[in-house]
Chains A and B, each alone.
Chain A
Amino acid sequence: MQDPSVMPEKIVALLEANGASDITVSGYEPMTGGYSRLMARFEASFTIGGNQESGSYVLRGDPPEGQAIIETNRSQEFAVIQAVSPFLNTPAARFLDADGAIIGTPALIIDFTEAESTLPWIEKNGASALPLKLAELSGAMHTIPVEKLPDVLTKPVSGDPLTDQILMWKQTAINHVEHLPIFRYVAAWLDANRPPSVPVSLVHHDFSTANMMVDGNGDLVVIDFELATIGDPREDLGYFKAYAQAAPPDLIDENPEIFLNRYREVTGFTEEQVNPVVMTYFLVLGVIGVVSQISNSGSAMARGETSSTGIAFNLDNLLFGQAAWMTATEALEKVLDGEVK
């Protein structure tokens, strides 16, 4: 996917296989920013279903075997984007090479969005407008009817997303290549301090400014649904806050009242179900999806099954997470004990 001399021909073949004709592909250029997958931008024009189209597109595919930081499925990602794009500000998924027979690796093509990465946009424009936009985006994502989502999405095995997530904490601690007592402490603490439940919904699982852009209208665009599942929507809010601790700013903390009021309005959740304490609880709980993937890759590297700098780098970053989770549990305990409000 990194070779611009061969990729246009492969893209033409993929479009042809999907019923397109009169195809031209140009300007193929690898992109940075695809953290877990390889990405490239290209221009194309073609006719499909009797309609002439032209524009910019993004090819998003798996890295070579053994080099993936996390293992996810392009067919599932394609199905999720197709299901959610009518409800969300996200680029549409257009074409899929499920097994990589044409592109050389499992890959999908999505529309290119003329939008700017969130952090550079904030540097230029400030963040004051974004808490409301974030509430609307996350609210929209968390109110997509579950029956409209692909069946392939993982659902809570126990029937309760909190139970599943806590179990994943415990299993990650057990399956890791060495014992992880901080993970076991966090799991036990989360189990002992559960908040009131809410209905399940789509959970993005990597909901952060790294997977958002700001379009020409100043609206947030969300991308990258490779880790999506069905679960407790507050996992995304917690993950967003956890990520913002490592890569500020925290757009929720920018104006928590505006964010929470609008988010409750869109979702219909009560103040008891979504408040700063509950978000901090999910700050810890919600990161386990990504953390368990990092743990799996790190364990595989320790066993000599794979090797890459990215895997070692991400595993090492869990040290930052361990400190953040313990700090969060301590802060929450003080609130729950009534020591602070």
Chain B
Amino acid sequence: MRAVWASAVMAVALNAFAANPDEAQIEQLMNAPAKPAATPAKPDKTTAAKNEPDSAASLVGQRVAVETRQRGFYVGTLTAVTRETLTLAIELPTRSVSYSLPRGDVASVTAR
């Protein structure tokens, strides 16, 4: 009986080992509960301190490029900065959109 269990565990382990990392990640993402994306993160004093809100606040009113920690990129006019979010006004061909990014996801903010 132990041998059967050991074989089954080995088969599962071998299968997991042989799988492509991307395939394994897809499986993980398919099975994981969806992660909230653009909802503002809970106020976190340490995170807020790390994000240096003052440096971003000095760019309010300017056209900025915001890079996120997931390799995302957004360009627009920085309209508001809070501890939780950065708000950009992005001009689209047909309208202007106000877009908020959680501060926890922001990797860098640079003036354009």
Q: Do A and B bind?
A: no
Give the B-binding residues of A (Cβ under 8 A).
Answer: none
